[in-house]
Each structure stands twice: as structure tokens, then as C-alpha cells.
Structure 1
């Protein structure tokens, strides 16, 4: 179709105006570009990571490390070192069973080690992320026809552990209640560091809390008259820090948690049964300061 002459003239005028506007915009944009520089080039020098200013430090900060988790390796020295350095499991430190107990640092404290696995304590899940793991060379246990046998921890090995713990605690300001055994953060899976681990010796060194024996004896007398019900035990165990069912039923999961508790605080009897002695220990340990 042919447009009338007047319409053709109008289209030509519109095209001329649009062309002039486009040229004007291009000239304006180029006017700000210095001679010799292409559009898009930057005058700012590349950022140098060595120039980060570290002269100021925030007052509001603390260590990411909240817990120390203690384990036994259930292996001899050679296998412990091989497994912890070459396989999927790892720990920050390994304490040997030789005298005086050589210490290996296998993972830097600033990095995560794979020692806790599926775990929790109080409101903290997955404790690998905020803990330091210490593996202690110890064979764990051996089942025999006469029962389960646990090898003892040599005194020099525990002395070495105490020196290491004091250093870590001081640097990270770790609270006494946050030095734990693997069995406490994973009671359904793990039994270590076992009933022969000397928690009381760590308490005497000022590293962990320990229930007042006189208070325990007084409370035990009361509980021997009437034992609390199942839900009381479950609530107290949870208050102390364990992940435990709150069902009012003394199931295997609750029994496993009680075994972990008794193994630490009453290793002479850790059958997982609720009794007056365990109730007294729990009651004293969960008292408000």
C-alpha cells in the first residue's frame, strides 16, 4: 500500500528527529570518558587482600568452640593413628598410651573434625561444628565368658590429658559442664570413654563439675522412701543436657541415656535402671546455682 505524500513527509520528519536524539545521547555519554580509556574501564586499583585493616577488633565476640568431647579409640596406637589420619573419621587430638602419652594434633582447632557424628547436648545439635574432639588410645572393652572387661587408663595418659584440657579450656573459655564424653552426646550409639574413665580426677583438677557427696546422700535417703516416676527421670535427664524421650515410658532409649549418666557419675553400677542413687545424683546436678 502507498501512503499519501503528506504521510510520507511526516514519517521522514519523525525519523530525522529520532536520529538526532540518538546522536545527542551518544555524544553526551562519551563526553565523560577520558581520552585513551574505553567505556567500562575502571580507575580503581584491584583489591589487595594483604591490605585488610586488622587494627580494630570487635568487643562482642567469642570462640566458636563450646565443647570438648572425649573418646576412646577402641584400637591400639598404630591403628588409631592410621584410622584418624587416613579415613573418614578424625579428631583434633590423639593421646597415645605410651609414657608420658604423646599427643598428636591431627586437625587444627580452627577447622572441623569428624569425631562426634549424630549428636546433641542441651540446645546444640551436631556437635562437630562447635567442639574439639580428643581421642584417647584405649581398647574400649572386651566381652568374655565372665562378662565385659574394660582396660584401665594409665595415670600418665590422664595426666597428659589434664594438661591439654587446661590449655584448651583457657584459650576458648569452655565451661566445666561442656567437657563431655561421646556417650553423653550420642547415648544411643556410643559407650566411650567408658566406666573406667576417671571423671572424678578431672573434677579434682577443676575441669568438670562434680555433685556434692553430702547433698547426694541426703537426697538419696528421701528417694529411698519414694522413687520418682519415669517422667521425672526423663525431665531431669533432659534438664541435665541429654537427648531423651519424654514419654513416661522406661523404654530402651531412656535406659541408654541412664546408662550414659550412671557411667559418668556412678561407674560402680551402670545398669540403666532408675534407682534412688541415680535420682539423688540427678537432683543435685540439676539444682539451680
Structure 2
């Protein structure tokens, strides 16, 4: 039995190593390409080891600007994308947790009707809502603005549903005890519900941050100025149909910066993220 168990562990580790290699190799190859000159990239095969142009390429991308997107630097793209991703993640969480709190702990006419209206919006794909939403943004003068990038994507029926399901597991005795102690709705929300929900908040923040970071269709429609582009939109603009017209070394640098923040968010919040997804008892 010991031999079988040991062999099983070796097989499991081998499968995991192969899986990690398959997932990580394209990222490593992108980083390697970002350290070589344009001439080296255009003459395959690309070396498997980093080159000598690491500092030159990264400095040019961050501070020199990229020609195909109007000379905007990657630093500006990162700032725009970070503002959008944080705004969407925080906005979705705030709106969803307050909506779920009102639906679960308050008794008012039409409570379940409003919940089902929120829930039904899950059946409407983004493409159905995108044209009327764009028209509203134009009428309000929010094109090429952070508000226009963030506001239409802040509401989340999924997050509202998840918080509602969690809040419904809160024992009624806890609510009654808080009421007996003189805690009002805001104090109950702030001092009891929020500490109990911190793992759910962390898990949803990671999901929503990555959702906001990787947005493509909406930023493509609502931004016309290169200075307001997100890093995903800029990557598409940087690539030309002709290899000779594409600054591939800068494209690879931009790709590295596009990949890095979501990876860091997941790594730093991994423990809370996993607990928020699998923990059933608070």
C-alpha cells in the first residue's frame, strides 16, 4: 500500500508539473520576447533565454510611448486600466452588498419583486444592453471619461445573489441579539455582517477586478482618445496586419504589464479567495 501511495503521489506531482509548464510557458516566452530587440523577434526562432534589451524595451514602453497608439506610454494605460478595474470591483461589491442587505433584512412592499428583477437581468447578455447604454453615456457626455468606463459595469446581479444567499444563512437569533443590544441597521451591517462577509468580499473582489481588467468591448466603444485607452485595447491597436509595421518588442512588454497585475492580485489574495469560495460556515 505504501508503494502504491508513493507512486500515486509521484504521478500526481508529474501531472501538476506538466500542467504548470503548459500554462506558464507562454507567459515565460512573452517575457523572453520582451527582452529582445525587434530584429531578433522578426528572425525566428526566438531564443529561449532573456536578451540584453530588458531595460531599453521597458524604459521605452513606459516613458517613450508607443507610436501606433499616439505615443501614449504603458504607464498611462496601466493607470487607466487600474482605475477602471478597481472602480468596477469596488462599485459592484458596494452596490451588491447593500442590495442584498436590504432584500434580506428589511421588510418592504415589493421586496421579492425587486429581487427577481435583479435576478432576471442575468438572462440579458451584454450585447443586448450595450447600444442603449452607449446612447445614455453619449447623452450624459461621459464618453472618454473614467465615469463612462466604470458606471455601466458596476451593477452585478451575480454578486447580489451570492451575498443574498450568504446573508440568509445568518441565524435569526443573531439578528435578535443585535436588536436587543440596541444595534441599529447600520451598526448591525458594519459591526456584524461585514466581518462575517470578509472572505466573500475578498473572493468577489478578485473575480470582479479581473473582470474589469480584461474588459474589451465596452472600453472599445466608450473611448475615442488614445489617452483613455485601457491596456487591452492598446494591445489590439499596437498590432498591425504586417509584422514589419508592428513594434513587437513593445507589444510583448505591454503584454507582460497586462498579465502581471491580475496575477499579483490572485497571489496576494489567494488564501482569502479560496476561503471565500469554499467556506460554508463563518
Give the alignment's TM-score, normalised by structure 1.
Answer: 0.19
Larger Cα Rg: Structure 1 or Structure 2? Answer: 1
Which structure: greater helix fraction? 2
TM-score, normalised relative to structure 2: 0.19
Greater RCO, 1 or 2 (C-alpha within 8 Å, sep 6+): 2
